[in-house]
């Protein structure tokens, strides 16, 4: 980057190297970190902690997904004893399932309050990434997450100033932290593209214990090319959205959308480029901005995009960095307790589209565990949108490969209950289960979403349990052995 050191470092700052900072962190400290969507996380201090020869037993709290410096190097070193609240690397996943790391999952929107007010942890130090820093402020980099809350909660603050991130990122940030309960006012945001804060996170100057310089880039996303199933799901979703926009007067003037991160999400955004919105304003109000949204912005198909993180590929990040200030006219990054705020999701009438591992015939959704026991990742922000969106959609292929159905009689881990999700979409079709009883939901989901290879088995299961005099008929033993 061309930004000079004098543009990034302001005032009399406690400059230090990462090794010195790491050695000053207690062996059993609780460390809060920036980072969300695999970007904007600290890199040098976690690597120095991984190389520390002490017997560390750290509690690490992040707002969301972080990169390999934390989720691989620091985990492999054995330095992490307890972890909140999202992980997705193979190394972190294995350590979680071995229970070498005590992992606790939380909904994304609540973590800041849980840390600052709820007694989740007793934080010692907060380590964040920034593009610039002063004696009592810093400007975050490619994500915000719960950084304002974490900084307020921790006794000490370490800022990594990363020259691999452009200083112009400051034009994206809208830092606003809700007041403490019980005097919390409604978030004063009336337009998702509007701004209610500024680019800086401010803090008491006595908190700042060290500033570390780095030029290490983010560990960016890699998205696979859309599969035939992805494209079929996208087409089915497009058909549903077109009908829903015509059905509900809420969408007469504008439609507010949210998509979960991933290759399927990118494919769904591609479908939106072809959808006729009938002159309505299209607005993105979610937690993650992916590459597909830039295509919509560049083609004039999107009014604005509001999120907490830039979950981009390397190519997508380069595309942004080359023209940050132009994109800042339409993109806003906020703390996650604003981007995922239940009241705002409700206020804007968001249509939320998220994926999962599986769902059962009654509409319960499992986003995190295989076979009800093996952790894959964290729940992230999907619950925030599934629970509070005006229309919540679960979209995923009906099968994993050719031998595992993702539509099952009963899921043995439930992240989102049958009360949370309105519509299910697979490559087979769309099941709109709003207003249906449990057995009616099961019939609708099997008919419209199950793969033809497993549909007869699901129908046989439902036929076998339906004579029960139960509101939700089940044969738990048979459901457990079904797959």
Would you name the residues annotated as active-site residues?
287
For residue 221, give both structure tokens. 């996303």
The DSSP 8-state label assigned to residue 416 in this structure reads B
Q: 166: buried, middle or exposed (CB in 10 Å: 19+, 13-18, 0-12)?
A: buried
What is the four-CA torsion angle of 358, 258, 338, 183, rounded to 10 degrees?
Answer: -80
In angstroms, the CA 420 to CA 81 distance is 33
Q: 373: buried, middle or exposed (CB in 10 Å: 19+, 13-18, 0-12)?
A: exposed
Handedness of CA 178, 293, 92, 373 (dihedral sign): positive
Handedness of CA 20, 22, 27, 28 (dihedral sign): positive
Short-list 78, 69, 38, CA closest to 212: 69
- b/e code 38-48 from CB counts within 10 Å (16+ = b): bbbbbbbbbbb
CB count, 10 Å around CB of 29? 19
| Contact partners, residue 281, CB within 8 Å, separation at least 6 | 253, 254, 255, 303
């Amino acid at each position: 980057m061309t930004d000079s050191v004098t543009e990034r470092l302001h005032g009399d700052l406690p400059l230090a190297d990462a090794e010195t900072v790491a050695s000053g962190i207690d062996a059993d400290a609780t460390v809060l970190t920036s980072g969300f969507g695999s970007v904007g996380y600290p890199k040098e201090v976690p690597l120095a902690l991984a190389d520390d020869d002490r017997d560390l037993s750290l509690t690490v709290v992040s707002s969301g997904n972080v990169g390999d410096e934390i989720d691989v190097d620091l985990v492999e070193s054995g330095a992490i004893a307890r972890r909140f609240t999202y992980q997705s690397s193979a190394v972190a996943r294995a350590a979680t399932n071995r229970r070498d790391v005590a992992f606790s999952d939380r909904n994304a929107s609540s973590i800041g309050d849980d840390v600052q007010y709820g007694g989740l942890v007793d934080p010692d130090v907060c380590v964040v990434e920034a593009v610039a820093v002063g004696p009592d402020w810093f400007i975050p980099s490619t994500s915000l997450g719960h950084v304002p809350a974490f900084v307020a909660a921790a006794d000490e603050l370490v800022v990594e100033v990363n020259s691999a991130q452009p200083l112009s990122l400051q034009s994206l940030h809208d830092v606003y932290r809700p007041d403490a309960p019980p005097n919390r006012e409604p978030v004063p945001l009336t337009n998702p593209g509007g701004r209610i804060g500024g680019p800086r996170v401010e803090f008491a100057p006595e908190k700042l214990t060290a500033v570390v310089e780095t030029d290490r880039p983010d560990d960016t996303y890699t998205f696979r090319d859309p599969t035939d199933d992805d494209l079929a799901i996208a087409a089915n979703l497009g058909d549903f959205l077109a009908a829903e926009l015509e059905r509900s007067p809420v969408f007469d003037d504008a439609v507010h959308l949210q998509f979960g991160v991933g290759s399927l999400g990118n494919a769904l955004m591609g479908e939106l480029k072809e959808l006729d919105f009938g002159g309505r304003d299209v607005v993105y109000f979610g937690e993650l901005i992916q590459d597909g949204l830039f295509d919509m912005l560049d083609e004039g198909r999107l009014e604005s995009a509001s999120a907490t993180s830039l979950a981009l590929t390397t190519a997508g990040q380069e595309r942004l960095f080359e023209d940050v200030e132009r994109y800042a006219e339409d993109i806003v990054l906020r703390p996650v307790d604003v981007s995922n705020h239940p009241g705002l999701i409700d206020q804007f009438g968001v249509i939320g589209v998220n994926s999962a591992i599986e769902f059962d015939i009654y509409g319960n959704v499992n986003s995190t565990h295989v076979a009800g026991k093996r952790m894959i990742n964290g729940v992230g922000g999907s619950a925030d949108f599934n629970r509070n969106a005006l229309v919540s959609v679960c979209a995923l292929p009906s099968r994993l490969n050719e031998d595992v159905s993702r539509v099952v009689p009963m899921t043995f881990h439930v992240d989102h209950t049958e009360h949370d999700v309105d519509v299910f979409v697979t490559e087979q079709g769309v099941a709109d289960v709003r207003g249906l009883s449990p057995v009616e939901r099961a019939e609708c989901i099997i008919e419209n979403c199950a793969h033809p290879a497993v549909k007869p088995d699901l129908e046989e299961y439902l036929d076998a349990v339906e004579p029960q005099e139960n509101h939700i008929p089940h044969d738990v033993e048979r459901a457990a052995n079904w797959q």
